[in-house]
Amino acid sequence: MCATCGCTADLAPGGEHDHADLHQHAHHGPGHPPAGQSGERTVLLEQKVLARNDEYAAANRAWLARHGVFAVNLMSSPGSGKTTLLERTAAAISGSVQIAVVEGDQETALDAERVRAAGCRAVQLNTGAGCHLDAAMVAGALLELQPERGSVIMIENVGNLVCPALFDLGEAVRVVLASVTEGADKPVKYPHMFRHANLVLVTKRDLLPYVDFDVARFRADLKAVSPGAAVTEVSAVTGDGMPAWLDWLSCQAGRAHQQPRLAQG
């Protein structure tokens, strides 16, 4: 088990110590190796772990392309609204495009049950003490789901703004959610997560009148960290902003696999 973040070490070629060093490197940074460890050893172990994950991710990406399936990696801190967004998205495009969901949580199947009730096929991945999904886990989920051609796979990652950003899952796009209840400083506090986002959804916008969230500051900080990321504000509860999210998803899926545009029900 990783001493820093609690992740299990199934993926690491060298076992527990490789995975622990990877996450210690991620938390401390390459210029500040943990006491008693050399920066060189930490970097080498990080390369080994990520290289192994990237092999699985490349295989996932090839499998998805071969089967004409569009995959989205949804990432955020806990409670930002990922599952509610999935429920509303499934309802909006019901009858147009099939959505299958890979649910990542440390424990329980609560979120998988919610998206199944919304009409999605789902596989629950429980990571135990682990703080993220990896590409090997997703590979197993894809084989179980066997999504149909032209469908969309939504991967709801474990709630965490640090470690999930390190692991490519084979997805076509990364979508990061940041709720207005979390504060506007997240892009500068967790730059790696936002730097690699294709789209950032500012969720729970219906609560803006009741919280201290500076939308202009958030957008400016995000642009500084990730100039190429699109951003939109959305409320899955009221539906405000949902058309913009669905249009973005439709365009991205169409570009990737020449899928038909997602019709809103």
Give the CATH number, domain containing residue 232.
3.40.50.300
Which tokens is 4 given?
């820093």
Residue 142 resides in a domain: yes
Task: Point out the least confidently predicted range of 16-25, 151-160, 200-209.
Answer: 16-25
Residue 20 resides in a domain: no
d(CA 244, CA 114): 24
d(CA 227, CA 233): 17
Residue 2 resides in a domain: no
Report the alpha-carbon angle 107-202-215, nearest 5. 140
Which tokens is 92 given?
């909006």
What is the model's pLDDT at position 257?
62
Contact (CB, 8 A) for 233 and 202: yes
Q: How far is CA 34 from CA 23, 28, 31, in A?
A: 11, 7, 10
Residue 19 resides in a domain: no
What is the model's pLDDT at position 258?
59
Closest CA to 232 of 204, 197, 205, 201: 201
Q: How far is CA 211 from CA 82, 206, 251, in A?
A: 20, 10, 32
Q: How many domains does the chain have?
A: 1
Q: In percent, how much of the chain has pLDDT > 90?
A: 74
d(CA 245, CA 216): 19
What is the model's pLDDT at position 13?
35
Residue 41 resides in a domain: no
pLDDT in tens, 215-245: 999 999 999 999 999 999 999 999 999 999 9
What is the span of the domain harbouring residue 213? 67-257
Residue 250 resides in a domain: yes
Residue 21 confidence (pLDDT) above 50? no
Residue 265 resides in a domain: no
Report the alpha-carbon angle 46-197-99, nearest 5. 105
pLDDT in tens, 88-111: 999 998 888 899 999 999 999 999
Residue 38 resides in a domain: no
Stated pTM of the model: 0.83
Q: How many residues does the chain have?
A: 265
Confidence of residue 134 (pLDDT cuts 50, 70, 90): very high
| Tokens 């299958």 sit on residue | 100
pLDDT in tens, 173-229: 999 999 999 999 999 999 999 999 999 999 999 999 999 999 999 999 999 999 999
